[in-house]
Chains A and B, each alone.
Chain A
Amino acid sequence: MIELKNVTKIYEINKNNKIIALENINLKIDEGELVVLKGSSGSGKSTILSLIAALSKPTSGEVIVDNKQISKLPDNFASMYRRDNIGFIFQKYNLIPTLSVKENIILPLVPLNPDAQDIQKKLDVVTHRFNISHKENAIVRNLSGGEQQRVAIARANINDPKIIIADEPTANLDEKLSLHFIDILRELKALGKTIVIATHDPLFFDLDFVDREIQIHNGKIIL
């Protein structure tokens, strides 16, 4: 399903300053698998997620998803690939704070110009599944951290993507809300989604439904 072949990613800050975020990474993730990428800050976990989501391109190597090389997709095709295949839950949620919950959740659908019924149907499914339907018209900036995260999860699932990517999903949550997020993950896994999580939160380690834990250190896979 997802394959990274000899992937290296170098961020060029300026001519004399380069950061090697990933070095010669090889990784395979099967369909329906839940993989946790562990590692300290700056280890390269988020970069792997970013490459899988085609948010950035590798400096060298290949990223293959469903037998298609996505690392060389032109920008507009990369966007369409994300829209159709990826649900990304960002660490800081990346919601638009002045829009309502509903408006934020349906944002990925807006360019598709769907009819109102279709939108409402999809919205009902995700808001009920992630328990945010009662706040549909609330403005996002007025929500608690946990609620904002549920909005971000709902938005990531509105297109019913095959792959869910979560970058440090519990970094801004207390333990209770983090455990709730883990329950949501379990549910998503049960739905057959392929899930890749980057985290250094010990709550994710040794969970019964996690298929693999991969340790990243200084841009390399250790285990």
Chain B
Amino acid sequence: MKNKINIYLIEYAINAILRQKAKSFFIVLVFTLLTFLLSSIFFITNSIKYEQDATVNSLPQIIVQKIKAGRHYDIDENVVDKILEIQGVADVIPRVWGYYYFANAGVNFSIVGLDEYEKQYKNSFDKIVKKVELENNNKSFMVLGRGVEKVMKNNYYKKYFNFIKPNGTLKKVNFAGVFDADTELESNDVIVMSKESAKEIFDMDENKATDIVVKVSNPKEIAMIASKIKLIYPDTRIITSNDLKVSYQNIFDYKSGVFLAIFTISLFTFFMIIYDKSSGLSSEEKREIGILKAIGWTIDDVLKEKFYESFIISFFAYTLGVGLAFFYVYMLNAPLLQNIFTGYSQLKTSFELPFVFDIQTLFLVFFLSVPSYIGATIIPSWRVATLEADEVIR
């Protein structure tokens, strides 16, 4: 049986690529660079969007903050009981949290205080208090996010850390382990310890909390319950999960805009190359088409060969570009490009981009690049191939 795929034609196409080594190398280089850049942008965006979505989904339904002179102050824990009385409220949890600036590394850690007897407002915290005793025999323990652990290790803190309290004295807290939450964004810069230790480090009064989280039985009633709390406590700021989603989305959209600019520049460069290529063939290339036609190749044969030639070169560069982007984003954690997104938190510990495999992204980059290049190769070849062979050779 005759082979359907014309191996000789493919061989000829490969030879044609290899014959023009410098030109082919340049095309592969530029094509690879652009697909690499496009893919990297999409991969980073996907990863961050995934983190963002996961973070947004784990946000508390309502947060109550004490406001004085337009600033956020610690809130009395006895507010909890009054809010619990509101119909539709399922749970009210006072939170203790804050930032600690670690001067050695120039980064901020987020400290979260938990009480093992309380219901936790996040599943990941529930797991911690079930596993680890944060206070034991007058010793304080803490569980570190991966980013924090890395920074601590780099600064030779392997068993414990001495926090400097606002009054200048030290608070020693021992390491009890590392925790993984659902997302890196959520847990990377976090230190979890007992409420007692956290309050001591932040110099907070015993009956105070940083803010209060309210859980509502029916999510449709969030806005209504928020307005009731505001009526009872006019000196508070009520933040609903919806408000937080909007603010997170705004940050993401702004960062996406920066990426969109890079994306546009990449596409522009790519299409400039495509335009340049589609505008004509070299005299050598024209002559070759003329020779092929003169010895009996049809227009279809010429175009088939040009298709193989452009497909091999563009698909090779596409695969290489995407492969490099995978390595760059998920192995090297996208140095430089990632900073555009996370640059706002120079003071935060770096986080690792989660691996998000999105076949649509791969298709999108493929359709933006490979068919355009094939078209740009075939169209001028078709123009020459449809001329009289005699005219082309002469």
Which B residues fall within an 8 A CB radius of A?
A: 2-3, 6-9, 12, 15, 19, 288, 291-301, 386, 388-391, 393
B388 touches A111 (CB 8 A): no
B6 touches A113 (CB 8 A): yes
Contacts of B3 in A (CB 8 A): 113, 115
Give A39 to B143 CA distance when docked, in angstroms: 98
Which stretch in A29-37, A96-104, A129-137, A198-206 binds the other chain? Answer: A96-104
B390 touches A82 (CB 8 A): no
Binary contact readout A99-137 vs B (1 if CB under 8 angstroms, 0 otherwise): 100010011111101010001000000000000000000
A110 touches B12 (CB 8 A): yes
Q: What are 17 A-B pairs with beta-carbon distances under 8 A?
A: A56-B388, A75-B298, A76-B300, A79-B301, A80-B296, A82-B296, A88-B294, A95-B291, A96-B291, A98-B19, A108-B296, A110-B9, A110-B297, A111-B6, A113-B2, A113-B3, A113-B9
Contacts of A108 in B (CB 8 A): 295-297
A111 touches B298 (CB 8 A): yes
Q: Is A155 on the interface with B (CB-CB < 8 A)?
A: yes
Contacts of A83 in B (CB 8 A): 295-297
Residue in contact with B9 in the complex, picked from A94, A96, A111, CB distance below 8 Å: A111
Q: Is A24 on the interface with B (CB-CB < 8 A)?
A: no
Nearest Cβ distance between residue A180 and chain B, in whole angstroms?
23
Contacts of A56 in B (CB 8 A): 388-391
A94 touches B393 (CB 8 A): yes
Contacts of A86 in B (CB 8 A): 296
Residue in contact with B295 in the complex, picked from A88, A103, A113, A115, CB distance below 8 Å: A88
A79 touches B297 (CB 8 A): yes
Q: Is A55 on the interface with B (CB-CB < 8 A)?
A: yes
Q: Is the interface of B mostly helix, strand, loop or mixed?
A: helix
Give A111 to B6 CA distance when docked, in angstroms: 8
Interface residues in A, total, Cβ within 8 A: 32
A79 touches B19 (CB 8 A): no
Q: Is A50 on the interface with B (CB-CB < 8 A)?
A: yes
Residue in contact with B292 in the complex, picked from A53, A80, A106, A107, CB distance below 8 Å: A107
Chain B residue nearest in CB terms to A152: B295
Q: Is A148 on the interface with B (CB-CB < 8 A)?
A: no
B291 touches A94 (CB 8 A): yes
A55 touches B390 (CB 8 A): yes
Residue in contact with A75 in the complex, picked from B8, B19, B386, CB distance below 8 Å: B386
A57 touches B296 (CB 8 A): no
Chain A residue nearest in CB terms to B2: A113
Chain B residue nearest in CB terms to A84: B296
Residue in contact with A76 in the complex, picked from B8, B19, B299, CB distance below 8 Å: B299
B391 touches A115 (CB 8 A): no
Contacts of B8 in A (CB 8 A): 106, 109-110, 113, 119
Residue in contact with A107 in the complex, picked from B6, B295, B300, CB distance below 8 Å: B295
A99 touches B386 (CB 8 A): no
Give A110 to B5 CA distance when docked, in angstroms: 12
Chain A residue nearest in CB terms to B389: A55
**Which among A76, A86, A119 has the highest number of chain B CB atoms within 10 Å?**
A76
Q: Is A170 on the interface with B (CB-CB < 8 A)?
A: no
Binary contact readout A143-166 vs B (1 if CB under 8 angstroms, 0 otherwise): 000000000000100010000000
A159 touches B294 (CB 8 A): no
Contacts of A99 in B (CB 8 A): 15, 19
Contacts of B389 in A (CB 8 A): 55-56
Residues A54-102 near B (CB distance < 8 A): 55-57, 75-76, 79-80, 82-84, 86, 88, 90, 94-96, 98-99
Nearest Cβ distance between residue B259 and chain A, in whole angstroms?
43
Residue in contact with A79 in the complex, picked from B2, B15, B291, B296, CB distance below 8 Å: B296
